[in-house]
């Protein structure tokens, strides 16, 4: 929300709904990224800006306070896609549809005309607002490829093996953190000493500590200060995220058409998994964070092969609605969970984390730590359903009911977990350079 300035707001929308409001006479505009229809507790919502029923009135009120006239406001609305509905059998949420209905009702009640609207469907989109020109645009999250590939040979086993061997090794500091926390015996001072010796990781840690992930206004300029301000577990999560970031590709091809989206999805999934573990009390929140961060590392290996076959992947996963893993096996001969498990074993990652990587789409096959695997699977479903994930591919929804059952959750519990998820922080992850 602002008067005219050289800045553009952009909301990447899946199930969520974006609303842009402008008053061209007063030359002010604003945008809201709405995640859910109504808060669990209507009397005292934790984050009122996240909900259609409370957030949109907030935006309208704030625009009026900076000079907008309600009678002059115009709206552009986008989003509310199904994105592979979670489960009709167990939840009758219809998140995107309910958000859209509430938004339309509020705008009609306030007498605000809708100049453009594109809601529903099965694909994500981008809503942008240029505050310099007050121009709003709705565009697809990914553009359909102009050429459709009919057939392309699968990569050979040697090519896949060479790709696994060629992935940049995970820094030793990350492995040390995983092993130490798995054994519950470690010295944070030793970890901090190792971070100080690695200038790249140290810089990324401080970058993350000063980003929206921590929500601090006063800058943190040393690892020791980060420890005092953030606490042990949060700092370990920042170190681990910064170390793992080195391994993720920074290209705009392959699984994602947005630079860095694979890493941002990994961190978002880690935060949701951590929240699930904390709320259920069934697993260590930090271990869940680590597992969520690593769950898609197989995509690091396969990203190059997907990029070469992007039109075919688009057709099979977007047009034909095939699940990502099924499309990978069909087109590449192997899926990212199996490749990720091979990479994790090569890195000597603890076995419970390897299992999560291997079975995060099929948690019923896990035997070492099935609860942790179900937590990460559910986190992935939530992250993909309520926050835009890598552009190509969707996760199957068949395991949703089993995840709820394994974790002892019902519909009300699930809604409460969605309510407590730090969506405002997750939505700002892509704004960090780390």
Query: Catalytic residue numbers?
Result: 16
SS3 11: strand
Interhelix angle 285-294/351-359, nearest 10 degrees: 50
pLDDT of residue 254: 78
How many other β-carbons are positioned within 10 Å of the β-carbon of residue 75?
A: 22
Q: All domains of the chain, ordered by start, with CATH?
A: 2-140 (3.30.1330.200), 149-167+269-434 (1.10.3210.10), 171-246 (no CATH)
Residue 48 CA: distances (Å) to CA of 39, 87, 279, 394: 7, 26, 21, 29
Task: Look up the pTM and report it.
Answer: 0.79
Among candidates 331, 371, 321, 270, which has minimal Cα distance to 123? 321
Paired sense of beta strands 8-13 and 28-34, if any: unpaired
How many other β-carbons are positioned within 10 Å of the β-carbon of residue 160?
A: 20
pLDDT of residue 430: 44
pLDDT of residue 434: 32
- Report long-range pairs for 182-187 (Cβ below 8 Å, ≥24 apart): 182/287, 182/350, 182/352
Which tokens sit at 169? 């090794």
- pLDDT tens, position by position, for the chain (434 residues)? 566 678 888 888 878 899 999 999 999 999 999 988 888 766 667 778 888 999 999 999 999 999 999 899 999 999 988 765 444 543 456 778 889 999 999 999 999 999 999 988 767 788 999 998 999 999 887 666 655 555 578 999 999 999 999 998 888 888 888 877 666 556 677 777 777 777 777 887 787 777 645 555 667 777 777 777 777 777 788 888 888 888 887 666 678 766 677 888 898 899 999 999 999 999 999 899 999 999 999 999 999 898 888 878 877 877 777 888 999 999 999 999 999 999 999 998 999 999 999 999 999 999 999 999 999 999 998 887 766 555 565 565 668 888 999 999 987 787 778 777 777 666 655 433 33
The secondary structure element, H or E, covering residue 32 is strand 28-34
Question: Cβ distance 128 to 8 under 8 Å?
Answer: yes
């Amino acid at each position: 929300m602002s008067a005219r300035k050289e800045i553009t707001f952009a909301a990447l929308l899946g199930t969520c709904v974006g609303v842009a409001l402008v008053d061209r006479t007063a030359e002010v505009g604003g945008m809201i990224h709405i995640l859910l229809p109504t808060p669990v507790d209507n009397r005292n919502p934790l984050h009122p800006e996240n909900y259609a029923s409370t957030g949109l009135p907030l935006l309208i009120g704030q625009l009026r306070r900076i000079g907008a006239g309600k009678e002059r406001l115009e709206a552009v609305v986008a989003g509310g896609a199904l994105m592979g509905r979670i489960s009709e059998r167990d939840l009758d949420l219809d998140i995107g549809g309910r958000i859209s209905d509430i938004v339309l009702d509020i705008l009609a009640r306030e007498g605000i005309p809708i100049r453009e609207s594109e809601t529903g469907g099965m694909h994500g989109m981008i809503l942008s607002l240029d505050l310099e020109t007050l121009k709003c645009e709705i565009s697809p999250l990914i553009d359909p490829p102009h050429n459709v590939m009919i057939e392309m040979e699968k990569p050979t086993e040697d090519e896949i093996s060479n790709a696994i061997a060629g992935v940049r090794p995970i820094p030793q500091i990350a492995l040390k953190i995983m092993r130490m926390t798995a054994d519950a015996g470690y010295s944070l001072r030793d970890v901090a000493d190792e971070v100080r010796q690695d200038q790249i990781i140290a810089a990324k840690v401080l970058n993350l500590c000063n980003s929206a992930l921590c929500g601090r206004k006063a800058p943190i300029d040393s690892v020791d200060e980060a420890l005092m301000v953030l606490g042990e577990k949060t700092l370990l999560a920042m170190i681990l995220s910064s170390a793992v970031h080195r391994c993720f590709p920074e290209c705009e091809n392959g699984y994602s058409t947005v630079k860095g989206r694979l890493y941002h999805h990994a961190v978002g999934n880690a935060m949701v998994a951590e929240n699930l573990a904390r709320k259920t009390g069934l697993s260590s929140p930090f271990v869940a964070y680590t597992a969520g961060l690593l769950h898609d590392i197989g995509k690091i290996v396969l990203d190059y092969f997907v990029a070469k076959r992007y039109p075919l992947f688009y057709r099979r996963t977007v047009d034909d609605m095939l699940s990502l893993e099924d499309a990978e096996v069909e087109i590449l001969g192997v899926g990212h969970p199996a490749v990720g498990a091979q990479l994790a074993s090569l890195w000597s990652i603890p076995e419970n984390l390897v299992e999560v990587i291997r079975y995060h789409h099929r948690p019923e096959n896990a035997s070492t730590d099935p609860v942790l695997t179900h937590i990460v699977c559910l986190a992935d479903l939530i992250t993909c359903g309520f926050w835009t994930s890598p552009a190509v591919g969707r996760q199957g929804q068949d395991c949703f009911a089993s995840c709820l059952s394994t974790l002892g959750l019902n519909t009300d519990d699930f809604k409460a977990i969605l309510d407590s998820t730090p969506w405002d922080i997750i939505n700002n992850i892509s704004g960090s350079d780390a």
